[in-house]
Copies of this chain bind each other. A is one copy, B any other.
């Protein structure tokens, strides 16, 4: 492990005590990425190069602090420190068994040249796959409690890059992705087109969310996001369409304050992942590496799993969360009159439990089990659900017992309606209730405007709320799958009970709205998934004709692509999302879902181009089995998949689930073909993916004496 100290700065004293210009440089371990930092009288600036290409032009750092003097210039560099790290660690669950953290660190200790002498440290880390920096406010006499009015971090692009973006919003990440040049971004127009969404706030014509994916004209892939978002508000970017400078914008609170801080403290890391290969972007573990190790000492109770759910039938309109037609639909005794459409009834739930038990699926999510769904949404109402009172047709004891004797767990559902205060008041009670009946996991929901009123889904208060929920849940040995929460930033390394997050546009939009574009799932890995797992809810088999009153609605993929998503969209809690009856339509295709793993020893990004295609191979935890998913956008293509990552000299059997030759997402989505071949490390698959299509492959070692009839793939 070498420590590189490259000090290229000029120390120029105009007059004693004032340092005028200093430039420090850090190179990545492989020397390819170069960071330069310069402290000028106008402020602190950094730039980043990849080989001989500039990636980030000179970009400013600093803050506006409320009611205090400018905190973005006039710094004296007190000292700088360098540190090299090259170590490995094992995640509790993840895409690979072992993760290497190899980087060079530079810490600048700055002091403002004025009476208050306020101090600010900036910490840079340079990896082979990118650069990150964070601010640190050390303990000091003249800066103790303070309010961030704005963070001034800039990311100055070198040109009018192609950009994969969703509009900035304080409350929502569930937008369709847009692909335009930086100069073409119009977030207001994009938001205006989202009538299917709610709780929108903070519109801004050139405001975009992170993770933001860019591609330069000369083929560099650049991903900007943040890591370790804790006790701070989420980062958004404001695009200057003249000079292509991206400017940090933080989510405000009711007073337009961005963060309440108490020194000593740090901000989240700002991350810039860079490569000339798109596959490297997806392979990057930089964001995870920037997060702190697990705070859960014994994580043995945290178990990845697949789950089915009484849920998709609500999305399609077949049944309802609510028990009665409306809150006013009551009989003479004041009891709700059942509508007959309530999905979370004992009989229906038992059907899902039976299905899970029969197919080795660990969990059954049941939404709509607790009273309140007749009047839960859209009125900024504080006291909605109590998280312990079931509807009369849902017997908690009977159903949890029924599931347990069949080796299945029920998964809890806590919809907060955005009323975080109400949820926090009831956390102890709600989690004690879960423990009592043996629920291991809870899907939380934050639909609607936040209470406390004036706070937003992605603001500092809510970011702390999500952390409080994780901490409380960990005490109760409960794992969390949060929906409508802030998007992930690798915090699941620190809290591995945060197993899945929605915070993006999931498969559900295909059920109830204009849906997702066929390219959607090829952009997600480069954007939303950069921060962590997504509960995308793949596995829909009935792709058309599910909405009785709206024949236009359909899922915008083929069936084979739905299978492939189990590999391309990583999540340790992976839903088997369709109504269980629909799996009987294609039992042979369902075998892939039964077989596919949710926890992995290794991951290979085989091919990828944002907006076009993604092919990923993963090795199931503790086995020699590989699973491959290949997906494409609206264009058909040939996925080329060399199996050179597998063990040499071994024979395997591959089962290929691919689009039928006449399949396409629009007219013939459910046509697929299943083939089995003998394969080895020299095999190269060439698979035709239909328009909006995909392929899923499971590969298991050949058992001697079996499968001898199967022919080799050519």
Contact = CB atoms under 8 A, between A and B. Distances in A.
A380 interface: yes
A326 to B, nearest CB: 11
Contacts of A452: 421, 452-455, 461
A100 interface: no
A662 interface: no
Contact of A421 (B257, B379, B382, B424): B424
A254 B454 contact: yes
Interface string A421-461: 10011011100000000000000000000001111000001
Nearest to A428: B428
Q: Which bracket fits the contact residues of A?
A: 20 to 34
Nearest to A378: B145
A318 interface: no
Interface string A611-640: 000000000000000000000000000000
Contacts of A15: none
A253 interface: yes
Contact of A379 (B145, B380, B427, B464): B145
B260 A380 contact: yes
A386 to B, nearest CB: 13
A304 to B, nearest CB: 30
A253 B451 CA distance: 12
Interface string A268-309: 000000000000000000000000000000000000000000
Interface in A379-430: 379-382, 421, 424-425, 427-429
A217 interface: no
A468 interface: yes
A145 B262 contact: no
B453 A253 contact: yes
A255 interface: yes
Contacts of A382: 260, 461, 464
Contact of A454 (B421, B429, B453, B464): B453
Nearest to A145: B379
A219 B429 CA distance: 57
Contacts of A461: 382, 452-453
A455 B139 CA distance: 30
A452 B254 CA distance: 10
Interface string A450-494: 001111000001001000100000000000000000000000000
Interface string A365-381: 00000000000000111
A170 B94 CA distance: 50
A416 to B, nearest CB: 14
Contact of A468 (B139, B145, B425): B425
Contacts of A144: 379
A428 B255 CA distance: 31
Contacts of A328: 139
A325 to B, nearest CB: 15
Contacts of A427: 425
Contacts of A254: 254-255, 453-454
A253 B464 CA distance: 22
Given A452-B452, A453-B253, A454-B254, A145 B381 contact: yes
Contact of A253 (B139, B145, B260, B454): B454
15 contacts: A144-B379, A145-B379, A145-B380, A145-B381, A254-B254, A255-B454, A257-B453, A260-B380, A260-B381, A260-B382, A425-B468, A452-B452, A452-B453, A452-B454, A453-B455
7 nearest CB pairs, A to B: A452-B452, A254-B254, A254-B454, A454-B454, A145-B379, A424-B425, A428-B428
